Chains A and B, each alone.
Chain A
Amino acid sequence: MNGMHGIIFSYEKRNDLRELGEIRSSASIPFGGRYRAVDFALSNLVNAGVTDVGVVLHGRYQSMLDHLGTGKVWDLSRKRGGLRMLPPFNYQENWGVMPFRGKIEALAGVRTYLDEIRQDYVALMDGDLVVNLPMTDIYESHVKSGADITVVCGNDSFATDNGTYFEMNREGRVTDVLYNLHTPRGYRGLEVYILSKKLLCEIVDECTAKDQFSWRKALQMRKDTLYLRSYIWGGFAAQIRSVQEYYDRSMQLLDPAIRAELFTPERPIRAKGADKPSTYIGPNGVCLNSLVADGCRIEGTVENSILFPGVVVEAGAAVRNCVLFKEVIVRRDAEMAHIIADKDVEVLEGRTLMGHSSYPIVLEKGSVV
């Protein structure tokens, strides 16, 4: 299938990621022991045979550029098409100086790129969505249904920060587009859309002419004139927009059923490999109910935690219910629980750090405690 083009949004947005979001966009946040959030969107597209993907960038995108490289990991380093980085290049007035106010503005910022798309259909995805969608199936049912836009929704009304919700009739046609809800209702939108290139360009141009920047507002206004059709995804789908959601969703990965679904071998999630040796657990190390990446050294105790590559837990130290990013060092006899420690954090000997599942503490990148 080569009829679909991918566009992934990885620009800075208002979110509640605290220290985790200060140095990166939410799409490049590490997740699941060895991934970045954007790996999921990229892999979803590539697994459906998509060969051309544009990543819309704006603000704090150094970490994203480092991560994506030439796109080789996803087989997107190609002679024709492949991976394209899209910082805002169609400057009008002050565009590109201020953060994007919405997807339409982001697309208008790369408007000439849209003209060059070779495929008839475009899939729009958010980079902060952690999911393993059967995009082939979604694309095929979009084409078959004759819908103008397919809207992918989770099978829940889960409250996500700044979420979009859809109501629909029995046939699956969207009847309402809701956001800024006090109490979420309807189906949670995963911010995954499929539509034709032609319609996408029309909507972007029309909205730009009226200084409308919000994609969901555009959908709301067109719900009666366009056929918006829903596709309900019943599996795991996390939108990483707050520390709490990040933590809760990470801990869900300790459930084998959720891992089996998110990491189904039929649609593998590809990620950049770290050149690290195997993980080593020492003679007195204990490691239970945890997800552990390569290159770690565990001499102490680790329980109910997620360890990224190169984490060191020294003898006598105890790590419980934590998410430890790359190269975090927990020195002797330190104790920590309900902590999210960013890259290169060092927790010194004998320190005690306790968060709570309802308020996980974030340790900033590189900090020494």
Chain B
Amino acid sequence: MKKECIAMLLAGGQGSRLYVLTGDMAKPAVPFGGKYRIIDFPLSNCTNSGIDTVGVLTQYRPLELNSYIGSGQPWDLDGSTGGVHILPPYQGSKGGTWYKGTANAIYQNIGFIDLYDPEYVVILSGDHIYKMDYSKMVKRHEEANAACTISVMEVPWDEASRFGIMSVDGDDMITEFAEKPKEPKSNLASMGIYVFSWQALRKYLTEDEANPDSENDFGKNVIPAMLNNGERMAAYRFDGYWKDVGTLVSLWDANMDMLSPESGLDLTDESWPIYARSVNAPPTFLGRNAKVTHSAFNRGSDIDGVVENSVLSPNVVVSEGARVSYSVLLPGTVVEPGAVVEYAILGEGCRIGRDCRVGGTPEATAPAPWGLTVLAPGCVLEDGKRVAPGIMLNRNGEEVSK
């Protein structure tokens, strides 16, 4: 059946810079903000933008992600026409390959997209925290009569060399694209969100696939090829909150941003809800000794200690006499009496024994090098253990390097 616009969500990456947090799951499945998974943001944006057909391209450790997405019902993406579809690599009669790059992943699913014969295809990443109305971007694409529209945002000039940078003309049409330029000519950075006219994209994907030298990547190959061929490429300016949470520090930052709506990340706005598959648990109980300030928590938790500037996922326990500061606790973590957790990310199901000390403040650590302390899901610390700032432990409690 014909669809005006469908979305393809790239969710196959390992997210290697999240290290132990993505040991067992793909990056888009990583919990965020006490309630969500990263993928809730693009999925909710789709449904709020009126896109009812989404292909999710998975490759690395898809189990957690697949079971989380399920039928797509939490995002209203379980309609009888369209809905959310998990698209792993597959074998054909002539064999098959893993997804070699972002463009190849879409190329391998041309058949899926053709089922819907769309005018436009929106390409999304599964590792960004943001709220965006894709329908406005598609409108911009239509009005500019473009083959490709790339969403861009202004970044500080001194950071511009970390991004794909666009130069634009007076109509915001893209004139030049440079991937991580040493001397950026502009501070408009690509957010990795694209709208393509499907017929144009189909042609370029096929050509790209035929080129043995190509890395089959949108940013490195397909976009430059289109630009070189003189295709109309429009920029779509976005000025809301957007964060790539591909690193431990940026993931931690985004969680902290959620605590302060001034950051621009306001999840309480009911006109643009972010949906999630919620766990079933009773409301959280705060005991007589609880002291929770500038923090967020979700259902099923039991808090009787001190929690400050932290984000707690469901089913967390912070016992009497324990303190959690500037930390992100993923579902089911337990902090026993007397333990102190500072500037840390604790993976799902971690248990911090009595009187442990995990992480520390930058001030107390100076002049020694400081960093976030990260514990892999399932890590258990025996009573009294100390884990210095900047250390990362795997599931067995062994130190691993970042």
A residues with CB within 8 A of B: 32-34, 72, 254, 256, 259, 263, 268-271, 273, 275, 277-295, 297, 306-307
Contact = CB atoms under 8 A, between A and B. Distances in A.
Given A34-B283, A268-B280, A277 B267 contact: yes
Interface string B280-304: 1111111110111111111100000
A277 B273 CA distance: 9
Contacts of B206: none
Contact size range, B: 20 to 34
A259 B34 CA distance: 22
Given A278-B298, A282-B293, A288-B290, A294 B280 contact: no
A361 B34 CA distance: 34
Interface centre among A256, A277, A307 (most CB of B within 10 A): A277
Contacts of B287: 288-289
A309 B312 CA distance: 17
Interface string B150-162: 0000000000000
Contact of A278 (B283, B286, B290, B296): B296
B292 A281 contact: yes
A289 B294 contact: no
A273 B281 CA distance: 10
B311 interface: yes
A285 to B, nearest CB: 6
B144 interface: no
Given A256-B285, A281-B293, A288-B287, 19 more contacts: A33-B282, A263-B282, A271-B280, A278-B34, A278-B296, A278-B298, A279-B296, A281-B294, A281-B296, A281-B297, A283-B293, A284-B293, A285-B292, A288-B286, A288-B288, A289-B288, A291-B283, A292-B297, A295-B268
Interface string B58-87: 000000000000000100000000000000
B283 A33 contact: yes
Given A277-B268, A277-B274, A281-B294, A294 B35 contact: yes
A72 B276 CA distance: 16
22 contacts: A34-B283, A34-B299, A269-B282, A270-B280, A277-B34, A278-B34, A278-B296, A278-B311, A278-B312, A279-B298, A282-B294, A287-B286, A288-B290, A289-B288, A290-B286, A291-B284, A291-B285, A293-B284, A294-B35, A294-B299, A297-B268, A306-B283
B42 interface: no
A283 B294 contact: yes
Contacts of B12: none
Nearest to A298: B292
Interface string B248-285: 00000000001100000001100001111010111111
Nearest to A295: B268
Interface in B312-333: 312
A283 B294 CA distance: 5
A286 B312 CA distance: 17
A284 B298 CA distance: 19
A288 B288 CA distance: 5
Contacts of B291: 286
A33 B283 CA distance: 6
Interface of B: 33-35, 73, 258-259, 267-268, 273-276, 278, 280-288, 290-299, 311-312
Contacts, number: 95
Contacts of B296: 277-281
Contacts of A307: 283
B277 to A, nearest CB: 9
A283 B268 CA distance: 18
A291 B281 CA distance: 12
B282 A34 contact: yes
A290 B297 CA distance: 14
Nearest to B291: A286
B33 to A, nearest CB: 6
A308 to B, nearest CB: 8
A323 B280 CA distance: 21
A270 B312 CA distance: 22
Nearest to A293: B283
Contacts of B290: 287-288
Contacts of A294: 35, 283, 298-299
A277 B35 contact: yes
A278 B297 contact: yes
A32 B268 contact: no
Interface centre among A271, A273, A291 (most CB of B within 10 A): A273
Contacts of B35: 277-278, 294
B285 A259 contact: yes
Contacts of A275: 273, 275-276
B291 to A, nearest CB: 8
Query: Top 3 A-B pairs ranked by shortest CB distance?
Result: A33-B283, A278-B34, A278-B296
